[in-house]
Structures are given as structure tokens and as C-alpha cells.
Amino acid sequence: MKKNVISRERSELKEKMSKTTRKEKRNKKSNTDSDQSMNSESNNANDSDTTNSNASSNRNYEASDDDDSESNQSSMEEENDEEEDSDTSEDSEEEENKKEAKKKAKKKAKKKKQTKINVIREYNTYFLVKVKVDKGAVATKQLLKALKTFFTQLYLLDSNIAIYEYEATNPTKAILKVKDIPKDYSIMKKFFNNISVKPNGGHTWFQMWIGHDEPIENILIDMKQWSSESDSYLY
């Protein structure tokens, strides 16, 4: 009888212990599942933060790229505007130069036309002339001096006197004033045909074609007295 009681108590104790063990295992498993769930949520949260961070970084990078692109585009547009302004300025300057050149050409043509008109006189006559040349250190200077004296006398008789190039077909170029007499001997001979330099002084002969408004008879008469006084002559 006593043995049966003891055996039953042992069985009840084992059963209690078995229940306690199973309960502890269930609690432990529940805690483990809870920990895993919390870890999973934490990981998911971290992943979400990382994703959000990466997305934000990508947005910032894209925004930066957009800013850079807009900046580059703006810079290119400014450069293009500057180039266009430069081209416009160069075109304007070139056009202004062309206009100025045209004005000068018209002015020159007008002046040339006026000169051609001004050399035409009512009469034109060919003369044979004898002029006395003084002796001097520079023969060409003495010759120029004699021609200036001769021309001055003609100018006193007819203020519109013009000496043309002797070989010219039409009177286009002319000596209209004393200062117009060429200093260059090679050019001088175009107006005073066959003129010669006199190193030792003397008379030089040449042919001359002149335009005049005074009748030739008046000029020849008025030149006689001067010619006799200066040892020169107009034929």
C-alpha cells in the first residue's frame, strides 16, 4: 500500500515537471519568434531608411545634374549671344567702312569732274616760247624759276590761263597756278615740250599748248613789252 502511494506521487511529480518544461519551451519559442519579428522589422526599417536615403541622394544628384545642365545651357546661350553681338558689331563696322569708302569715291569723282570742267577755256592755242634762264648752282631750280616768272606774267594778262599737256588729245590735265608747275623735270617736259636745262644759263626753247579766255591778239600785244624787257618771247 505504501509503495503504491509513493509511485503515484512520483508520477504526478513527473507530469508536473513535464508540463513545466513544455510551458518553458513554448515561452522560449514565443520569445524567439518575437525577437526575430522585431529584428525583421528593424531590418526592414533600416532597409527602408537606406532606400529612402539612396532615393534622396539620387534626387539630389539628378537635381544637381539638372542645375549643371541648365548652367551649361545658359553659359552656351550667353556665348552664342556674345558671338552674335560680335558678328553684328563687325558687320556694322564693315558696312560703315564701305559707306565711308563710297563717300570718298564720290567726292573724289566729283572733284575730278570739276577739275576737268575747270580746265576748259574759250580758246586754246599752241605757242613757241623762248625764255631766258639765269646761271645757278642747281640748273633745274633756275629753269623752274624762269618758268614761274613766265607763267606769272601770263596770269596777269588772263587769270583763267591754263597750260595743258602738250601731247594730250583732249585738255584734261592743266597747270592752273604757279604752284602747279612740276618740279620733276620728266613731268615738266609733258607741259613744256622739248624744254632743256641750261647749266651755264642762256635761253631755253619749248612748245606750249594753253587754254585762255582772253583773245590771243590781246595776249600777244600785252606780252611784247614784258618779253623785250626779260629777253623772252612768245610766238
pTM of the entire predicted model: 0.51
pLDDT band at 96 (very low <50, low <70, confident <90, very high): confident
204: β partners: 131
Tell me if 163 sits within 8 A of 175, measured CB to CB.
Answer: yes
Cα 189-200-179 angle, rounded to 5 deg = 40
Q: Per-residue pLDDT averaged across 38-62, rounded?
A: 48
Helix axis angle for 216-230 and 139-157, nearest 10°, is 140
- Residue 65 CA to residue 72 CA, distance in Å, equals 10
Task: Identify the pLDDT of residue 226.
Answer: 86
Instruction: Give the domain ranges of the chain.
Output: 1-118, 119-234
Q: What is the mean pLDDT of the chain?
A: 76
pLDDT in tens, 75-93: 565 665 566 555 566 677 8
Higher-pLDDT residue of 12, 55: 12
Q: Per-residue pLDDT averaged across 182-191, rounded?
A: 96
Tell me if 150 sits within 8 A of 206, measured CB to CB.
Answer: no
Q: Per-residue pLDDT averaged across 145-160, rounded?
A: 94
